[in-house]
């Protein structure tokens, strides 16, 4: 299968941790799980979050946000690339892995620039714009690399936000990783979208006394729940929006679960599975 894998922050760095050693330990574990996915004969393309890293870098350096996204793409991509290579070698699998510094086009007139909503930084009090992704600039090279049977890591952190203004120009914003992941999946015609987060299931009435895990749900039903505002914009909302767009764009199946439960989810024992 052609699988799009979106790694949430918990697959990169456990909550409550902020040091490099902890991040490396988590990425090693994640890479082992992904290597098993490859060993089963699947072709994968990987994207990942970078929330804690980009916020911390922005706080410490005061560098432009587009530059911070680029730096953290490289940092996390390098670690994933190296550790996944090591895990594949243990399984005697020869695969080239490449990280692509990825720019993602947004509309310079996107309303998000006038109404920042995305909290970043260690205090989470700083709000920045989160415009809608339109196109992955490096889509052709990503497709070529994937078609050569390479494992591609791309569009980390939603991609580096750029606009067209007498050429390409970086802007002060961050793009939602899950929404941008759908664009990545279209490049390779992915059939399955694995959104690996920090919960085992998507829940109805999350956090309430009557919360209920969703196990297998049809696209029509999940769209109904989405319109009922069951999934908050700041957490599960973008993931469900991405799932809907992925399936409506030609994908066959979306699985949302925690990285630790991926194997069980593929066996349909855990996780939320969304199908047409």
- Which of 178, 237, 253, 177 minimizes the C-alpha distance to 202? 237
DSSP letter (8 states) at residue 167: S
Residues recognised as catalytic:
9-10, 118, 177, 239
CB 69 within 8 Å of CB 50: yes
Pairing of strands 118-120, 151-154: unpaired
- Which of 26, 50, 75 minimizes the C-alpha distance to 156? 50
Long-range contacts of 94-99 (CB under 8 A, 24+ apart): 95/38, 95/149, 95/150, 95/151, 96/148, 96/149, 96/150, 96/151, 97/150, 97/151, 97/152, 97/153, 98/145, 98/150, 98/151, 98/152, 98/153, 99/73, 99/74, 99/152, 99/153, 99/154, 99/156
CA distance 124 to 139: 32
Describe the strand order of the beta sheet including 160-164 as a list of residue ranges. 133-136, 103-106, 160-164, 168-170
């Amino acid at each position: 299968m052609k699988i799009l894998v979106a790694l949430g922050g918990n697959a990169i760095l456990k909550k409550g941790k902020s040091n490099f050693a902890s991040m490396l330990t988590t990425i090693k574990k994640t890479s082992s799980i992904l290597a098993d996915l490859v060993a089963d004969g699947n072709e994968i393309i990987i994207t990942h979050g970078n929330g804690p890293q980009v916020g911390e870098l922005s706080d410490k350096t005061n560098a432009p946000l587009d530059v911070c996204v680029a730096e953290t793409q490289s940092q996390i991509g390098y670690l994933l690339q190296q550790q996944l290579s090591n895990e594949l070698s243990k399984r005697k699998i020869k695969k080239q892995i490449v990280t692509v510094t990825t720019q993602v086009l947004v509309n310079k007139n996107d309303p998000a620039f006038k109404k920042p909503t995305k909290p970043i930084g260690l205090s989470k009090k700083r709000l920045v714009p989160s415009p809608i992704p339109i196109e992955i600039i490096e889509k052709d090279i990503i497709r070529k690399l994937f078609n050569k049977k390479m494992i591609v890591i791309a569009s980390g952190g939603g991609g580096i936000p750029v606009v067209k203004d007498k050429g390409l120009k970086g802007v002060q914003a961050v793009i939602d990783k899950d929404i941008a992941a759908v664009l990545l999946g279209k490049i390779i015609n992915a059939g399955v979208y694995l959104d690996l987060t920090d919960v085992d299931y998507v829940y109805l009435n999350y956090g309430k006394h009557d919360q209920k895990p969703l196990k297998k749900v049809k696209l029509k039903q999940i769209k109904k729940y989405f319109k009922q505002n069951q999934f908050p914009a700041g957490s599960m909302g973008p993931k469900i929006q991405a799932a809907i767009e992925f399936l409506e764009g030609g994908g066959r199946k979306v699985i949302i679960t925690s990285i630790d439960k991926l194997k069980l989810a593929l066996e349909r024992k855990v996780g939320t599975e969304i199908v047409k």
